[in-house]
Structure 1
């Protein structure tokens, strides 16, 4: 039995993605909980793809914190952004409240400075508290 996708972003909160999707060369955007749940995603991103993005972004952010801690010797390393460049494009993720991040996928020719700035604006506009996701409860099965 599969676990249902948790989609807590309401219609009122999903507007955080719209300005990002209007930027030139931005293809997808998502709000992701730190424990790998998709909280909201762009309309063109299929459910299975969104679930994969959420799981991998959670793992990637955990790896980013771990490698930073290994380099610095500071176990409480906090990420400001995670950037992945590939031949297909860019992935940029930033914290968006406690246990939540905002992620964007854009084509290779995107202006990453503009995207990063707009992501910060959207997080600040919505407010970190509204974007926070409680950690997933353990011990219960679906």
Structure 2
């Protein structure tokens, strides 16, 4: 078991995950920046696994947005949710404030509606106040 990691400039948002981790069937949860930096994760998730998942989730969010944009023909598509259904369980990811994503991994037999409902409650309650991440400066002059 490792302690939650976050980038040096980021505040640790692990505490926002506590209500989700109490739900039946929820195994892990993490908060990440849109560019894949860990903002917080549950204490049972190995730090290296959390970092890897955050990077992959960031890429997946970008790919999902691009697919939706291409198929819909609309620019400026905003994702509401990404769901991965695997034999080992589900991954749910939703936007959670500015430049921030909330992700949860569950057991295969879980009440999907209950989990996503509580994720939405957490975001609605805390998202705009707490779960915001500054976009990183790309180093390019404007």
Q: Normalized against structure 2, the TM-score is what?
A: 0.89
User: What is the Cα deviation at residue 14 of structure 1?
Assistant: 2.8
Out of 127-136 and 24-33, give the one that drifted further. Answer: 127-136
Structure 1 segment 1-142 matched on structure 2, within 5 A: 5-6=6-7, 8-10=10-12, 13-139=13-139
Q: Runs of 4 or more off by more than 2 Å in structure 1?
A: 7-10, 137-140
User: What is the Cα deviation at residue 128 of structure 1?
Assistant: 1.8
Query: Structure 2: any 5+ residue segments left out of the alignment?
Result: none
Q: Normalized against structure 1, the TM-score is what?
A: 0.89
Cα distance between partner residues in 2 of 1:127 and 1:78: 16
User: What is the Cα deviation at residue 30 of structure 1?
Assistant: 0.3
Q: Secondary structure at the match of 1:104?
A: strand
Q: Are the equivalent residues in 2 in contact too, given 1:98–1:129 (CA < 8 A)?
A: no
Cα distance between partner residues in 2 of 1:58 and 1:110: 24
User: What is the Cα deviation at residue 38 of structure 1?
Assistant: 0.7
Q: Secondary structure at the match of 2:7?
A: coil
Q: CA RMSD in A?
A: 1.7
Cα distance between partner residues in 1 of 2:119 and 2:6: 24
Q: Secondary structure at the match of 2:16?
A: coil
Number of residues of Structure 1 aligned to a counterpart in Structure 2: 135
Cα distance between partner residues in 2 of 1:91 and 1:131: 19
